[in-house]
Amino acid sequence: METKKEDLTLLGVKDAVTALKKGVCSSERLIESCLAKIKSNNGKMNGFIHVETEQATRDALQSDNRRKNGTLLSPLDGVPLAVKDNIDILGQPTTNGLGMHWIPSKDAAIVKLLRNKGMVFLGKTNMHEAALGATTDNPHHGKCFNPLLEGHTPGGSSGGSGAVVSGYLCPAALGTDTMGSVRVPAAYCGIVGFKPTKNFWSTAGVTPLSVTLDTIGPLARSVSDIAFLSGLTLKNIDIKSCNVASLENFDYADMEDEIKLGYEETKKLLLDSGVSIGQARLSDYDPSSARRAGLLVSEVEACVLLEDFRLKSQEAFSPELQTMLDFGRRAPASRYFNAIQKIQTLKRELCSIF
């Protein structure tokens, strides 16, 4: 029997799965609760820029019917999800954070995958224009704000996805990560963001920024929810069998003392658990240089990948975005090649540690 007192928007992904399984709530009620929270709270953060109320309600009812008939598509059947607005959903507008939109004729591969598991899509989330930035101060759809700190940024470029999960409008969301666009909002909003190995999920149906670096990633309020949503299994492993390395030249990282303390405490916890920690050193690693290389690669590739959109409507691109793309357009091939080489060298060095 359903409870009437519990705030269903507080449920994480795994909790929602359990509640649906035990009959604590129906998918219809869960979706209604999320939609009501969106209606009352989204105006403060501008996390959602498009909400699909009627379709989400229909999908929830279909999920409840499948549950009643014993034909569930997966444990995730009936669980709500938000989607960054550079990922196509059939029939819902995609903007890629630009001042234009189009209606996709089919789902992105990741959306199709999760739709086939029965997940219910609530709508599209705000993002930094063209995913090329880290504030989600969108000039076309309005600024997105951090639900934890009034007036502050949620980070970006998947800022809307971070905000709606942190603000309990939805238990989880999809984002994209090129140079931190899932992990930065997660850090700013106090939740968990995961950038999986490239091509873990197909990016078909995602408006590209950089073919070299683009990756789809989930955001949720716990590591276990991320693992569950990603189809991973948290297995009980012998932690002593893990290869763990500690960086010797740690001073390169400009971190707050609290973060450094957490790093050292984690090392101690592992050592106390019997884990052997080896020492590693990254030679001549400059985070600023690596970041500049990644940004150059993104700008050069974006100016090519977004050119068709720009030709259709130059007004859909802010002056700031056009300046960044012009920089990429003017960059000589030698600089692009050197940036790619720098990224590949760092990858090889990191892999050599293990």
**Residues 246-274 as b or e (16 or more Cβ within 10 Å = b):** beeeeeeeeeeeeeeeeeeeeeeebeeee
Residues in CB range of 246: below 8 A, 6 or more apart: 267, 277, 278, 279, 280
| CB of 93 closer than 8 Å to CB of 124 | yes
DSSP code for 287: H
How far apart CA 78 and CA 72 sit, in angstroms, is: 9
Which residues are catalytic, by number?
Answer: 84, 157, 181
Closest Cα partner for 141 from 9, 46, 236? Answer: 46
Give me the mean pLDDT over the 68-73 stretch: 98
At residue 48, φ and ψ (nearest 5 deg) are -90, 135
Asked whether the whole model's pTM tops 0.85, one would answer: yes
| Per-residue pLDDT tens digits for 111-170 | 999 999 999 999 999 999 999 999 999 999 999 999 999 999 999 999 999 999 999 999
| Per-residue pLDDT tens digits for 289-328 | 889 999 999 999 999 999 999 999 999 999 999 999 999 9
How far apart CA 14 and CA 276 sit, in angstroms, is: 33
Q: Residue 60: count other Cβ atoms within 10 Å of its Cβ.
A: 24
E strands in 44-141: 48-51, 80-84, 120-125, 137-138
| Structure confidence at residue 3 (pLDDT) | 43
Q: What is the set of domains in the chain, with CATH numbers?
A: 8-229 (3.90.1300.10), 238-354 (no CATH)
For the ranges 45-49, 157-161, 341-345, the lowest mean pLDDT is seen at: 341-345
113, with CB counted inside 10 A (0-12, 13-18, 19+), is: middle
| CB of 151 closer than 8 Å to CB of 136 | no
How far apart CA 271 and CA 172 sit, in angstroms, is: 33
Give me the mean pLDDT over the 169-185 stretch: 98
| Structure confidence at residue 247 (pLDDT) | 78
Higher pLDDT, 287 or 338: 338
| Structure confidence at residue 115 (pLDDT) | 98
Bond from prior residue into 283 cis (ω within 30 degrees of 0): no
Average pLDDT, the chain: 93
| CB of 328 closer than 8 Å to CB of 302 | yes
Determine the Cα angle at 96 with ends 56 and 126, to 5°. 60
How far apart CA 1 and CA 81 sit, in angstroms, is: 25
- Sign of the Cα torsion 251, 256, 261, 266 reads negative
Closest Cα partner for 229 from 173, 294, 311? Answer: 173
| Per-residue pLDDT tens digits for 268-299 | 999 999 998 988 877 767 778 889 999 999 99
Highest mean pLDDT among 212-226, 249-263, 266-280, 339-353: 212-226
| Structure confidence at residue 238 (pLDDT) | 83
